[in-house]
Structure 1
Amino acid sequence: MSAIIRTMALIPALYGYLSASLTCLSASGQTTCPSSPSQLLAPIDSVNGDKAGFVSAVDNSGSVVAIGTAAAAHAGVRSGVVWVRTRVGQVGEAEWKIVPANAFDFMNFAASLALNASGNTLIVGCTPAFAVERVFVYRFDGQQWNEEWVVSETAGDDLGYSVAISAAGDVFAAGAPMRSECCTIWPGGIYVYRRGATGWYREALLVPTDVVLNFHIGNSIAMSGDGRYLAGRAFVSQNSPVPSGAVYIFEHNAGAWTQVAKLQEPVAYSNGGFGMALAMAFDGRTLVAGNTSDSRFAPLNGAATIFHRTITGWAFDGVVLPIPPIPGGYFGGSVSLNSVGDRLFVGEVGAIVAGVDDAGRVDEFHRGASGWTRVASHVAPALTATGAGFGKVVRSSASGHRWIASEPWADFNGIDSG
């Protein structure tokens, strides 16, 4: 079983942000408030090179926060670690440190993370280079985190490279982008698992109908909160009319999963990169796909494309871009939506702030009657180091009134401790 340690220190690298109220007054009437910093979370025992916050997840309220890094060591073994903070900002705030069972160096535990709505089910991807990949399921019983289930499929498939979970926590998906099958190398796949009366079981393996060589479906995924829709990114041929990649949408209906859409950018400004970060609204009606390789205004300035589902199918709903465009800004490397899909947060890990290279920032967008509008551009309250990478991962609560942004190369407890 995994080692789970309660770290009694109340300090968990992430910044927490809050919107103080539902609406603010503007010249044109009422509008949604932009956010302001509320709390800094940094693991008390992170050290040089840990890069805490390389992956992260939050529950619906934003009061349960999980941050992980595959670079961290425990008991002299660099296996990877997950820290979970519960009741953030409340009485009884506590922190747990989760370390895998039978840990070994370069295990790559915490390759990916996902939390359900209530924050009591945690999914952790584990993708070692020279061992079988696994996905761990942990459950919080009110007092302690417990390892509930571990699953693996085929060695070398990179199962757990990406993970996503429904709000209820009864179904989750894990990308396996290096999965191969007869006659096709690395088409990838997305495995879906469901909790039944007797425990967890594999429900489906999803592969697009037009799969080709080196497709790598599953290198990023997103699931709707209701667990009905699943999105997965795949590469496409550079000879494709839209060579930047594709996002496939699968729907669960009448007990079966079916591919229902293939989404691509209207115009490609990159070869690859589209969908490297995905976010989906609770009802699966809004999808955001980040593309750090978008170079329409500057090399690798990045973009985030929004799609909306109507009764007639999926349609392009707009694109948001960095202002100003920065070469190597990587805008769109992380995207997050609130539950109803009208608040969007986009990370730009390579942004230059006050002359500091790669300080990073997060842009906040709201959707109104006239479309998507940028309402704020957020930077870390304190610039701790060049290349700290604020916004490497952005995660929003259900309302969008609380969200977190990681800064894994910050020097809080040592160089690149996060």
Structure 2
Amino acid sequence: MMLLPDVKARRMLLRAFQFSATGVFAALAISACGGGSGDASLDKTTAPSGFSVSYDTKGYLFHWSATAGATHYELVEDPDGLGPLPEAQVGGAIAPNSYAHSLAAQLLYERVNASYRLRACDASGCGAFTSAVVPDLTRAIGYFRASAPAPRWSGRFGTHDFGRGVALSADGSTLAIGAPGDSSASHGINGDPSPSEATHYSGAVYVYARVNGRWDQQAYIKASNQGGSFGATVALSADGNTLVAGAPAESSNASGVNGNQADTSVFGAGAAYVFRRTTGTWAQQAYIKPVLEVLQPSTFFGSALALSADGKTLAVGSPGEYNGLNTPSQVNFGGAVHVYARNNDTWTVHSRVTSSEAEDSDHFGTQLAISGDGQTLAVGAPHRKGFLAPDALHPSGRYVSSVGAAYVLTRNGATWTQQAALKPPVIEYTAFGTALALSTDGNTLAVGAPGYTDAVTPRPVSPPDTAAPGTVYTFHRQVGQWSQQTLLKPTISEKLEGFGRTLAMSADGRTVAVGAPAEMSKAVGINGDPMDNSARLAGAAYLFTQNGNAWSQRAYLKASNTASHIDFSQAIALSADGNTLAIASRSEATSATDPNTVQTGTGGSVYLY
């Protein structure tokens, strides 16, 4: 993990003052004992000197010079500067002359323009406040990179593809980042990360944990066999103790749970791996494959994952699979979804789900989302075709590619029943179903349609269309019936942004984060200027919240080191509590946050808001 500037100073201060209750209690204890500068009387007319701020991941470190006679200090925060929210004290009675202020309990955009003031106090009262300090919020954006050495062979650099998959626990304190381009030859947990050209794109998953306000790498996880883009997809249970990693390019001929991993005769068959954490230590629990009469190559099992909140129901997408009678006899690349269940620590095959409208190349299972209880499953088929009625130019009618669809299924025992087949209202190339996000209760569904066009005539019938900004549809379920709720669009929309390419939703379904990895502005950080389109494929993310029945855009998010072609928001994850947002930029390869920092990884980063 790469930290932001002022690294040495921040590390020294953080060793003494962690983001925890311990520091506050210690401060109160010192205050009660009459800490500070002994018997000197406090000058109530003078504010503390040297009041300044440094930065950590979603946190500030305030420091100042000791004031003669002070027994403690009071720090106040105005959360929105000149806005309507009132100023309030934070941190209690602070005895040391520094204080680590965590922003973990809110998304960073909620502290745009926040200002802070400090005053010194003794038993008789407090003195004058300092002038307000307005921190640079961009410098509090977390920045994670692969810790493994940059692969290099044949005179060229490889890539970690760090951030292709990203997942957060419900409280946002565990972060899993997939790096399918990792090239080490190790297996299992915390092995040697040194790259090898022979195992290029074997893949890895990095796990980070926030403990007492500090983010640290907890594990470096590899597949138990050679893998194959291991980490292209990742999923976490609500408590963060169950991790699933997909490896859609894995090539063994195994079947079911914990089969023979050594056979490598079926290229791109795919696999999924389950890991469990116990008291901070990770171990592999299961190696999962589809159960088919004939395991076909290029089924890419593991291309999508969905894990229930308790970590006991797992759905795995197999979008290249023949969709029919378990044999290559019916629908070519129709796709399927395989469901597995855990009882204690044993995983078993539960069911296989296919589309009721299966056609060639639908790629059913490209995206998945599951409710917290594992009883509602949403499946994306973004390549499903649509048929346009005959007209003067096309008397026999015509098919439109990649209109897309999203299917909602509910479970009764081992049986899944289709509850709804959701499709865009107009037949055009929308790629509807490219991304999905489902609330914990399963009643709110967001569907990404990055090919959506707004009032374009004639409507496009094949990709790409340069006037397609993309959109997100939201749907709501009531008494088993689904209805469209709204369309989410950015306040300022440009051509071909890919808006809706990725999605994430809070547990209550009232906060939605939307990725637009082709967005082109040169803005940096939070709520910058979106109008300078000089950074091609820089990417952006947008945050929307629901108030009553109305949705509104709350934040426009960019990387802290925006550059062209970094594909910011190619993957995105939001904690269930809605307070932590991870946004991946798997093509980012700069070290712009600190030019003096030695870059030990390449190809991707993840930002935390």
Question: For this structure pair, what is the TM-score category when the shorter chain's length is used for normalisation?
Answer: 0.7 to 0.9
- Aligned ranges 1:125-204 → 2 under 5 Å: 125-128=178-181, 130-153=200-223, 154-155=225-226, 157-181=228-252, 182=263, 183-197=265-279, 199-204=281-286
Give, as a single letter, the amino acid of the residue that structure 2 aligns with 1:256.
T
Moved more, 246-255 or 368-377: 368-377
Could you say what secondary structure the match of 1:110 adopts?
Answer: coil
Q: Partners of 1:96 and 1:86 in 2: how far apart?
A: 14
- Aligned ranges 1:43-54 → 2 under 5 Å: none
Shift of 1:380: 1.4
Q: Which runs of 5 or more residues in structure 1 are unaligned?
A: 9-83
Whether the 8 Å contact between 1:114 and 1:124 is mirrored in structure 2 is: yes
Q: Partners of 1:245 and 1:326 in 2: how far apart?
A: 22
Shift of 1:86: 6.8
Q: CA offsets per residue over residues 259-286 of structure 1, 9 Å max, x none?
A: 1110000121332411101000000000
Whether the 8 Å contact between 1:86 and 1:95 is mirrored in structure 2 is: no
Whether the 8 Å contact between 1:114 and 1:163 is mirrored in structure 2 is: yes
Give, as a single letter, the amino acid of the residue that structure 1 aligns with 2:308.
S
Structure whose CA Rg is larger = 2
Deviation >4 Å, runs of 4+: none
- Aligned ranges 1:42-121 → 2 under 5 Å: 87-88=106-107, 89-91=109-111, 94-101=140-147, 102-104=149-151, 105=157, 106-121=159-174
Shift of 1:187: 2.3
Shift of 1:386: 1.5
Could you say what secondary structure the match of 2:520 adopts?
Answer: coil
Whether the 8 Å contact between 1:282 and 1:339 is mirrored in structure 2 is: yes
Q: Partners of 1:289 and 1:389 in 2: how far apart?
A: 20
Q: Partners of 1:334 and 1:141 in 2: how far apart?
A: 31
Which of 380, 395, 402 is matched with 2:511 structurally?
Answer: 402
The higher-RCO structure (CA 8 Å, 6+ apart) is 1
Q: 1:242 to 1:264 in 2, by over 3 A?
A: farther
Q: Partners of 1:272 and 1:175 in 2: how far apart?
A: 21
TM-score normalised by L of structure 1: 0.76
The structure that is strand-richer by fraction is: 1
The structure that is helix-richer by fraction is: 2
Could you say what secondary structure the match of 1:216 adopts?
Answer: coil
Between the two proteins, the alignment pairs up a number of residues equal to 340
Which of 215, 221, 244 is matched with 2:305 structurally?
Answer: 221
Q: Partners of 2:104 and 2:426 in 1: how far apart?
A: 35
- Aligned ranges 1:323-402 → 2 under 5 Å: 323-327=425-429, 329-355=430-456, 357-369=467-479, 371-383=481-493, 385-402=494-511
Could you say what secondary structure the match of 1:203 adopts?
Answer: strand
Q: Partners of 1:7 and 1:349 in 2: how far apart?
A: 39
Q: Partners of 1:191 and 1:357 in 2: how far apart?
A: 40
Residue identity (%): 26
Residue equivalent to 1:64: none
Q: Partners of 2:317 and 2:280 in 1: how far apart?
A: 32
Give, as a single letter, the amino acid of the residue that structure 2 aligns with 1:306.
V
CA-atom RMSD in angstroms: 2.3
Give, as a single letter, the amino acid of the residue that structure 1 aligns with 2:310.
D
Q: 1:202 to 1:370 in 2, by over 3 A?
A: closer
Q: Partners of 1:373 and 1:349 in 2: how far apart?
A: 20
Could you say what secondary structure the match of 1:4 adopts?
Answer: coil
Q: 1:7 to 1:342 in 2, by over 3 A?
A: farther
Q: Partners of 1:165 and 1:370 in 2: how far apart?
A: 28
Shift of 1:145: 1.7
Alignment of 1:262 with 2:374, yes or no, is no
TM-score normalised by L of structure 2: 0.53
Shift of 1:409: 1.2
Q: CA offsets per residue over residues 132-174 of structure 1, 9 Å max, x none?
A: 4111001112433211001112445110011100001000100
